[in-house]
Amino acid sequence: MSKYVKDLMTSELRQRWNGVEGAVVVDMMGLKAVATTTLRKRLRDKNIHLLVVKNSLARRATEGTLLAPAFEKGEGSSTVVWGGEDVVSLAKEVVAISEGNEFKPFVPKGGAMDGGKLSAAEVTAVSKWPSRAEQLSILVGQILSPGAKLASQLNAPGGLLASQIEKKGKDDEAPSAE
């Protein structure tokens, strides 16, 4: 491949991966063409991209970026998966696919997250973390919890008093048994 073509491909990869903070490198050698098409459609529906690329081109394209650690010491070609809501949801999807039987040779080999290298075991560990939406709901619950507790503590004595007054009022209205 000529230097001009390599430069064109490198700039194309840089453009595709511009702003990407995390990616997972997977091995899918041996996956049949029909299964690959089905896999790509499944990932595309979740806004996840898949690309088979030579490691040397990927290294050149990711120099100085957060994705660079994913391609250190790689040889041959790799399949790069990126996109989704965040790195955690990407890892969840990759691990779910690898654990299923539909796309059997598909397994995570590693990746990069926030400028750090991930091993295959770390990708599996990241997939067990709460996703961004789950983290936000946990955070909102923790923020609202003290206020809800305070409101219930302020309302409790008033509610108790109101129930006693209401009970006393019903006792006064009871007909006498003469």
Token pair, residue 169, equals 């009022």
**Range with the poorest average pLDDT among 11-25, 75-89, 106-120, 154-168:** 154-168
State the pLDDT confidence band at 174, using cuts at 50, 70 and 90.
Answer: low
Check residue 167 and give its pLDDT.
67
User: CA-CA distance, 178 to 174, in Å (whole number)?
Assistant: 12
